[in-house]
Amino acid sequence: MNNCAEIQAALSAYIDNELTSLARGKIQQHLEQCEDCRQHLSELNRLATAFKALPKLTPAPGFLADVRRKIAGANTTAKHWTDHTSRVLWWKISLETLAAVGIFLLVIRFAHFPVGKPAAENTATSAKPASGAVAVSDAKSRLAGNEQMASSVEKLAPKRLIGGTRAPVVESELKAKSNRISDALVIRAKDFAVAEQQVQEIARAVSGQILPRRVSPGKSNGFTEVLHVELPVENLDLFKSRLESARLLSAADAGQPATAAAQSEAGRLGMAGGRIVVRIQVLPPAD
Amino acid sequence: MERVLNSDAGTTASDQELLRRFRGGDESAFDDLVLRHQQRAFNVAFQLLRDHEDATEVAQDAFVRAYRNLNSFHGDCEFTTWLHRIVVNLAHNKHRWWKRRGKQASVSLDASLESFGTVDAQMAGASAAPDLQAVKAEFVELLSQKIKELPLRFREVIVLRNVEDLSYEEIAAVLKCSVGTVKSRLARGREALRKSMRAVES
């Protein structure tokens, strides 16, 4: 390590203090005599200082909640499609769902701007827009006049899947189901804000969270405010018992053990280990 | 974050302790890990991608992946090392995704370092005598522009070293490469950066 090129190549490790003391000593010796290499070193140091001055960015608030939502969403589908064959199937179905959606869009387009034979009237589509099977078969008859288009549609979506019941079960639907309210509770508190705070702490302790607040209409039934808490289904009992310990939920108000129902619904939706939403109505104290 | 019911969980619990609690079924321990490391994960993702939205997505997905794979994490390295690795891998995936869709986030994504050095001096005129102590705001701004143009394999070592303050060994553990590779990539990456900054400044 004698010439400037070698010295300069080693300066990066030098500023990081990642050199042996021998190599370090050689560089220091050289630097004392070499203006060029000192300049090089000062530029590298300046770069390092500039890195330190880069603004430290903070993730947006709600980062954790988003992570939790993603985990919950991932679980609902992942439980279904764990083994390899299922994954392949899922992938195929996803593609075929896309194809089905494509056909549906075609149907809508042709319903408005028919390009095939005018004999294919706009009947079934408008009558039953919700039924995939009817809409698709109608689309095929509508497209019958256009050979080229029809064959491309056949290629796009194999017949066996048209109108199939599995294709529409897409992730967004599972997500929507997982956000469905699975249980409802009534708690009693003098002060809503205090109760909200307590519920939040209890929810957090059972890996749950209060969802963004919806302001409820203040109707005559003394109904004041409602909180929605999202939590893992298996923690529902724990959550309730903690609400009871905090004297927010009385055994009477807990009512029927809705847990079983919630769990069976979660099971039906394939949400084992998934998250549910509990609606909590906050009422003034009963006495 | 207040914790009333788990008051034993001090704010100083180590990552290992949080992992142990999480494996024992305490979901809130994972939340604590996220809260503790979210800034780090986000910042690294941002410095690698220079895009706020994509960095958020990558950092969040890194935690989702960590959550789902915590059982396969045997503690043969620090949790932060493991997390960094996931973030870097996901950033690479995002890069490939951009590439496939022709998003030119990084000008010289495929450019060699050789061509990287010859940056045209479009901002010439903003000259300043190199100053060891004070680094001007414009210089920092220029740096954040120039990082973008650095190929990702160089950017990642520089970010892990200069932003995250990891040692060469830690960086090697994150990237699963040798310390020698880290050393040479750092030297080459910094040299490229130094030249390109200089080309603009002078």
Decide if B47 touches A, using CB distance below 8 A: yes
What is the value of ipTM here, to two decimals?
0.77
Q: Tell me which of A134, A161, A188 is where a domain ends.
A: A161
Query: Looking at the domain assignment, is residue A198 inside a domain?
Result: yes
8 Å CB contact between B109 and B149: no
**Is the CB of B42 less than 8 angstroms away from the CB of A57?**
yes
In sequence order, the 6+-apart residues with CB closer than 8 A to the CB of A126 are A111
Mean pLDDT of all residues in chain B? 79
Decide if B129 touches A, using CB distance below 8 A: no
Q: Confidence class of residue B58 from pLDDT cuts 50, 70 and 90? A: very high
The partner residue sitting opposite A13, judged by closest CB among B4, B130, B187, is B187
Same domain, A279 and A184: yes
Query: Looking at the domain assignment, is residue A133 inside a domain?
Result: yes
Same domain, A246 and A269: yes
Q: How far apart are CA A275 and CA A234, in angstroms?
A: 8
Domain boundaries, chain B: 10-105, 107-202
pLDDT tens figures, B88-142: 999 999 888 877 777 654 443 333 333 332 222 223 333 333 443 467 788 888 9
Decide if A46 touches B, using CB distance below 8 A: yes
- Output the six-digit token pair for B179: 């310390």
Same domain, A35 and A109: no
Q: Report the percent of chain A where pLDDT is more than 90.
A: 19
How many Cβ pairs closer than 8 A exist between chain A and B? 126
Q: How far apart are CA B29 and CA B34, in angstroms?
A: 9
For residues A144-158, average pLDDT: 42
Q: How far is A208 from chain B (nearest CA, A)?
A: 9
- Residue A197, pLDDT > 90, answer no
pLDDT tens figures, B129-176: 344 346 778 888 899 889 988 999 999 999 999 999 999 999 999 999
Query: Domain B10-105 is in which class?
Result: mainly alpha
Same domain, A141 and A48: no
Same domain, A210 and A151: no
Decide if B17 touches A, using CB distance below 8 A: no
- Residue A216, pLDDT > 50, answer no
pLDDT tens figures, A45-76: 999 999 988 888 888 888 999 999 998 886 55
Decide if A219 touches B, using CB distance below 8 A: no
Q: Tell me which of A112, A131, A161 is where a domain ends.
A: A161
Supply the CATH classification number for the domain B107-202. Answer: 1.10.10.10
Q: Confidence class of residue A263 from pLDDT cuts 50, 70 and 90? A: low
Query: Looking at the domain assignment, is residue A277 inside a domain?
Result: yes
Q: What is the count of structural domains for chain A? A: 3
- Residue A191, pLDDT > 70, answer yes
Same domain, A27 and A80: no
Same domain, A276 and A184: yes
Half-sphere exposure of A193 (CA within 13 A, CB side): 0
Q: Report the percent of chain B where pLDDT is more than 70.
A: 77
- Residue B182, pLDDT > 90, answer yes
3-class secondary-structure state, position B46: helix
Quick one: B64 exposed, middle or buried, by C-beta within 10 A (0-12, 13-18, 19+)? Answer: buried
- Output the six-digit token pair for B114: 């050789």
Range of the domain at A229: 179-283
